[in-house]
Structure 1
Amino acid sequence: METTLTETTLFERLGGKLGISKLVEDTVDAHMKNPAINARFLPFLKEPDRLAKIKQHTIDFFSAGSGGPVTYSGKDMVTAHTGMNISPAEYMHVIDDIFIALDKQSFNDDTKKDVLAILWSLKSMIISK
């Protein structure tokens, strides 16, 4: 008997657009509470429309990049982060916050490794721009 492995996309493992939306909400909440980076995020509380737009772009970007049937229409990563001068330490704090959100939702290690691979691939497009 032949066994057929059905590979699920990272998008599916993260719970689709709904799961990724929850992951983004939890991550932004962690950023707001993280003293190492919250100065970059707290001002958005006074601009709820802008924060909502950033969250939606993040959801769409990660949905498309994780194999979902979503089209990302926002800025590329270099353009989106140019002028922010994000340090390597800040980027690591962002990754830590994403993992806090992943752990909160009890994702397995393989899923977390795949998310980390994506985050690591974006590093040079975001740091010190």
Structure 2
Amino acid sequence: MEKNPYLIPNTNRIYTNARKQKIARDILERYTGSALKDFQKQIILTNFEYYLDRFAVLSGCTKTRGSAMGAVHSPKDGVSIINFSIGSPTAALIIECLSVIEPTSVLFLGMCGGLHRSLKKGDFIIPTAAIRDEGV
């Protein structure tokens, strides 16, 4: 049987490679300024600092700042919110790194442009695809 050249070997995946798991844990702690034990199983990702500030006030928890991202963790609510800043590469990086804590849910809290006029402020949107001018 011919080997599939497009199949990614399991050793390249973070969740099956102990060395890559350690790297992901280190990146997560360094980039967010948070200890791994502080991360909750429900994650909110955003690229707006305002949401971090509001979550910190509403939850009564402290905001942390790492070398690239900010975070607030609420053990009482079982939720962590992370401001990963902006960009598809950073979004992909944070998702990969979060795989080491095995979250039960991840929600992106942000904004979209070019939505249908029938939508009203406060409506929830579940995107199934995105088209970006940068080609991602």
State if a TM-score over 0.5 links the two structures: no
- TM-score scaled by length of structure 2: 0.30
- TM-score scaled by length of structure 1: 0.31
**Greater Rg, structure 1 or structure 2?**
2
